[in-house]
Structure 1
Amino acid sequence: MTDTTVTYLFDPLCGWCYGATPMLDRLAASGIAIDLLPTGLFSGAGARPLDEGFAAHAWANDQRIERLSGQRFSQAYLDNVLSVCGTLLDSSAATLGISAAGLDDARQRLPALKAIQHARYVDGRDIMTADGVRQVLADAGMADAATAVKAPADKVLAAHRELVSRGRALFQRLHANGVPSLAIIRNDAPRLIGSNALFGSYDDLVAHIQAA
């Protein structure tokens, strides 16, 4: 399967996408190339204020994700992120940081996403402002991406817009129900692998990929 490329549709504010990370790591370790495409789910028109109802809904989902995936949602996240009502849930800065990290090497998008997810869900840090994302990336050793988030050059902004546009177009073409979603693209024909496959057994996921 070393010649297989899987396209991964995600948003950095999606808890289910955080829960899918262990499966992505296993796929990458097996030699499968993973092309990360952000869909902008929580950016632009998708941004929304955090209120008590949404926070309670998110925390209930997060507990389910933790049980299914083993990914940790910490008390710091609950106290410093979900409990701060009125915060705008906007993934624009985080998505820009991921785009910037992969500007010269697309493989760096996954480490950037993981650093941002860990900062939010484990450390309870801000990843919704440019300054917060910049600091997370700097701490992860991604100095160029951190600088790009603080003062993005036209090249970075253009690459970011193109990446999100590709992600949204593929999402719509697949008629995907949400993120995370996987797609296999062969002969310009994408085939959707539903998100459930990311939370079952690894062998079943590989079987889905091989059959696509």
Structure 2
Amino acid sequence: MRITYLFDPLCGWCYGAAPALEQLSQIDGATVKLAPTGLFAGENARSMDASFASYAWQNDQRIARLTEQTFSEAYRSHVLGAKDAIFDSAPATLGVVAVALTAPGREIEALKVLQRARYVDGHNNSELQVVSEILSRADFAEAARRVVSPDAELLASYRSRVDSARLEMAHFGAEGVPALIVEDENGSRLLPSNILFGDITTLSLQLQAT
């Protein structure tokens, strides 16, 4: 079974689905591919004004109630409340891609580190330098170095990964993230995203039964 996980590192719902992603990665006979969609990256970035910050915090509280994931006051103050901040997932996405190139097999770990740094520790990972510092502290030294000064290989891999994820979203009609595409002996199919927010102890059984 091959599972493609469509996500954006600045998507609160994707952070809410982190425990389910961990569960997916432990299913025997399954491989999980991270597919960063760039949903909030580059041309889709925006300024973090008071109105958007308020909307984000309200949505985050809904996610917290459903998933029991932590959205801290440090995040509210230092990320949502940061003056002249930009909501841009390109730096964090670049960090995940850099880990894929330098420490294969640790992408999910890196995504978890970047999400925790934002939503729990209150670090604004919409900035390359911040992403680099987060990765460095988490023992991703080579990825941290490359993120600060992206080379041609890293930028090409970033563009390829995002383009591929967007094509898969369009092909399967995924309307947002997180989303799961499963490929097995029965073919490929898009699963309902609510499977990521139920009882994670039965997630693998639900997945194999669809």
TM-score in terms of structure 1 length: 0.92
Which residue of the partner structure matches residue 195 of structure 1? 193
Whether 1:19 and 2:22 are equivalent positions in the alignment is no
SS of structure 1 residue aligned to 2:124: coil
For residue 62 of structure 2, the aligned residue among 52, 61, 64 is 64
| Residues 106/186 of structure 1: CA separation in 2 closer, same or farther (3 Å cut) | farther
Within 5 A, what are the aligned runs for 1:37-52? 37-52=35-50
| Aligned mates of 1:189, 1:104 — CA distance in 2 | 32
Deviations 1:50-83 (A, max 9, x none): 1222111111111111111111111100110111
| Aligned mates of 1:207, 1:178 — CA distance in 2 | 24
Whether 1:133 and 2:152 are equivalent positions in the alignment is no
| Aligned mates of 1:189, 1:40 — CA distance in 2 | 26
Which residue of the partner structure matches residue 151 of structure 1? 149
8 Å contact kept, 2:98–2:146: yes
Which residue of the partner structure matches residue 166 of structure 1? 164
| Aligned mates of 1:174, 1:37 — CA distance in 2 | 14
| Aligned mates of 1:188, 1:155 — CA distance in 2 | 35
| Residues 147/188 of structure 1: CA separation in 2 closer, same or farther (3 Å cut) | farther
Query: Which structure 1 segments of 5+ residues have no match?
Result: none
Which range is displaced more, 97-106 or 165-174? 97-106
Query: Which structure 2 segments of 5+ residues have no match?
Result: none
8 Å contact kept, 2:27–2:204: no
Which residue of the partner structure matches residue 176 of structure 1? 174
| Aligned mates of 2:80, 2:31 — CA distance in 1 | 33
8 Å contact kept, 1:52–1:85: no
Higher relative contact order, chain-length normalized (CA < 8 Å, sep 6+):
2
Q: What letter corresponds to residue 173 of structure 1 in structure 2?
A: H
For residue 8 of structure 1, the aligned residue among 5, 18, 21 is 5
Shift of 1:204: 5.2
The two structures, once aligned, show a CA RMSD in angstroms of: 1.8
Identical residues among aligned pairs (%): 44
8 Å contact kept, 1:120–1:127: yes
| Residues 85/179 of structure 1: CA separation in 2 closer, same or farther (3 Å cut) | farther
Which residue of the partner structure matches residue 110 of structure 1? 108
TM-score in terms of structure 2 length: 0.93
| Residues 188/144 of structure 1: CA separation in 2 closer, same or farther (3 Å cut) | farther
8 Å contact kept, 1:50–1:88: yes
Within 5 A, what are the aligned runs for 1:26-37? 26-31=23-28, 32-37=30-35
| Residues 49/29 of structure 1: CA separation in 2 closer, same or farther (3 Å cut) | same
Shift of 1:147: 0.8
Which range is displaced more, 159-168 or 103-112? 103-112
SS of structure 2 residue aligned to 1:37: strand
